[in-house]
Amino acid sequence: MNQNGHKPSVMIVDDEEMVITSLKAFLQLETDFEINGFTDPESAARFAENHRVDVAVSDYLMPKMNGIQLLSRLKELQPEASRVLLTGHADKQSAIQAINQVSLFQYLEKPWDNAQLLLVIQSGAERATLFRDLREKVDELDSAHSSLKNVQKRLIRAFL
Amino acid sequence: MNTAPSAELHQMAAIGRLLTGIVHEINSPIGSIFSNNEVLLQSLATLHKLLEEPDPQAIEKAQRIIETCQALAAVDRIACERIRLVIRGLKSFSRTDSAEMRKVDLNEQLRDTLKLTQAEFRRRITVEVDLGELPEVECYPQMINQVFLNLLVNAGQAIVGEGVITVRSRLEAGQAHVSIADTGCGMTPQQQARAFQAGFSTKPLGEGTGLGLAISKEIIEEKHGGLLSFESQPGAGTTFHIRIPLRQGASRCESERA
């Protein structure tokens, strides 16, 4: 559980039900994270429109929308989320494209290693939390700064 | 067969192009099986501990773990089945058991070959399979599979974006009739006239050898006394018809040949 009392939220997107079932079972055993699995990338994107996502693990080759398209959509919606591509389609071209276009947190290949995946998801969740906290602090600083400015303005007006 | 080595090279090239899809098709189930195995082992250890002091809470937890394990065992089965089918599809292309002439179930050959192309098609092409009852057909299964593969790959390449491939088989006038239809770009009359000509290809350099249809025609007509024909409409799609006699040495499928 992080500072704000949220359980980290992990999204798993793969058009193969079996991958989702396996990853869910594993992550539920190892973590207390909230896990949401989607076989359809479009419903995953819709979910991300109004639910917090800390880590998104996506397959590459999927119907309608590939993993890079989905992760770049997620990047627009929730820039703090850690984006992970988990692909069996191991060609360098898609890897490079993914890293450049969606600033991936990690690129993993199938068949995956559970220990490595767990580490990636845990550090991804931590990173997302830190980013969100940082943004909150920056926002707080901003509003403190602007209220200070107001006070300053009023002071100047009062004395001049 | 005397079409080698070009036929063999062409076949290797066709399978090579499918390899990315095949690897992808196998990687997901293997990843799942590995992951499930770890979870199952850990779950068994947890169950062992829970059974040492079986209080109501422990029993409830144990039941949840058992449910998870059952779900994972079911996934493993599906995953293994998937791998088995892909391997079976690949095996039907290996020379060892299928280079000789023998009686085979053509529908089974079709399903095996479809398994190989499915990985490539799954994400954009709907394959409709309508296989009628067929008696066993005497043929060279490896060569016949090569024709099926050629025609399916062609059909897939003819479809830009999403589309449908319909695979149909029937027993007609004492012959096996297999048709493979796509909703792809079709062929112009000029392309149709040269379709079976060796070296002619509409595909970009490196994608097609221009031999697929020439080899397929030779396999069906010269090796099996059958008939390979097609009808095509630009913009609407192409349908290939394979007709082969049920027994070799029987009368050839000359009737429709112009």
pLDDT band at B256 (very low <50, low <70, confident <90, very high): very low
Does residue B183 lie in a domain region? Answer: yes
Looking at every residue in chain B, the average pLDDT score rounds to 84
**A9-159, superfamily in CATH?**
Response regulator (3.40.50.2300)
Cβ count within 10 A of residue B73: 11
Q: What pLDDT, on the 0 to 100 scale, is given for residue B98?
A: 53
Which residues in A3-30 are b (16+ Cβ under 10 Å) and which e?
eeeeebbbbbbbbbebbbbbbbbbbebb
Residues of chain A with pLDDT > 70: what percent?
Answer: 94
Q: Is the pTM above the cut of 0.90?
A: no
- Edge to edge, the sheet with strand A82-87 lists A34-38, A9-13, A55-58, A82-87, A106-109
Considering CB atoms only, which of B34, B122, B123 is closest to A111? B34
**One domain, residues B107 and B191:** yes
Cβ count within 10 A of residue A129: 18
Q: Do B43 and A15 touch (CB under 8 A)?
A: no
Task: Tell me the mean pLDDT in the region B26-33.
Answer: 90
- Domain boundary pick from B69, B90, B111: B90
Question: Which stretches of chain B sit within 8 Å of chain A by CB?
Answer: 20, 23-24, 26-32, 34-36, 38-39, 42-43, 68, 71-72, 75, 78-79, 122-124
Say which residues have a Cβ less than 8 Å from residue B176's Cβ, sequence separation at least 6: B106, B134, B137, B169, B170, B242, B243, B244, B245, B246
Say which residues have a Cβ less than 8 Å from residue A22's Cβ, sequence separation at least 6: B31, B32, B35, B36, B39, B72, B75
A137 has pLDDT over 60 = yes
Does residue B218 lie in a domain region? Answer: yes
**One domain, residues B140 and B240:** yes
**One domain, residues B46 and B124:** no
Å between B124 CA and nearest CA of chain A: 6
Tens digits of per-residue pLDDT, B129-151? Answer: 999 999 999 999 888 988 998 89
**One domain, residues B160 and B192:** yes
**One domain, residues B45 and B131:** no
How many cross-chain Cβ pairs, A to B, lie less than 8 Å apart? 74
Strand partners, A108: A86
- Whether this model's ipTM surpasses 0.95 comes out as no
| B34 chain-A contacts, CB cut-off 8 A | 111-114
Task: Tell me the mean pLDDT in the region B236-249.
Answer: 92
Tens digits of per-residue pLDDT, B52-100? Answer: 888 888 888 899 899 989 999 999 999 998 888 888 777 776 655 556 7
**One domain, residues B61 and B144:** no
Tell me how many domains chain B contains.
2
Domain residues for the domain of B53 are: 15-90
**One domain, residues B118 and B219:** yes
Does residue B254 lie in a domain region? Answer: no
Q: What pLDDT, on the 0 to 100 scale, is given for residue B1?
A: 44
How far, in Å, are B9, B110, B127, B158 from residue B13 at the CA level? Answer: 6, 19, 23, 18
CATH number of residue B217's parent domain: 3.30.565.10
Q: Do B124 and A63 touch (CB under 8 A)?
A: yes
Q: What pLDDT, on the 0 to 100 scale, is given for residue B257?
A: 44
Does residue B25 lie in a domain region? Answer: yes
**One domain, residues B117 and B229:** yes
Q: Enumerate the domain spans of chain A.
A: 9-159
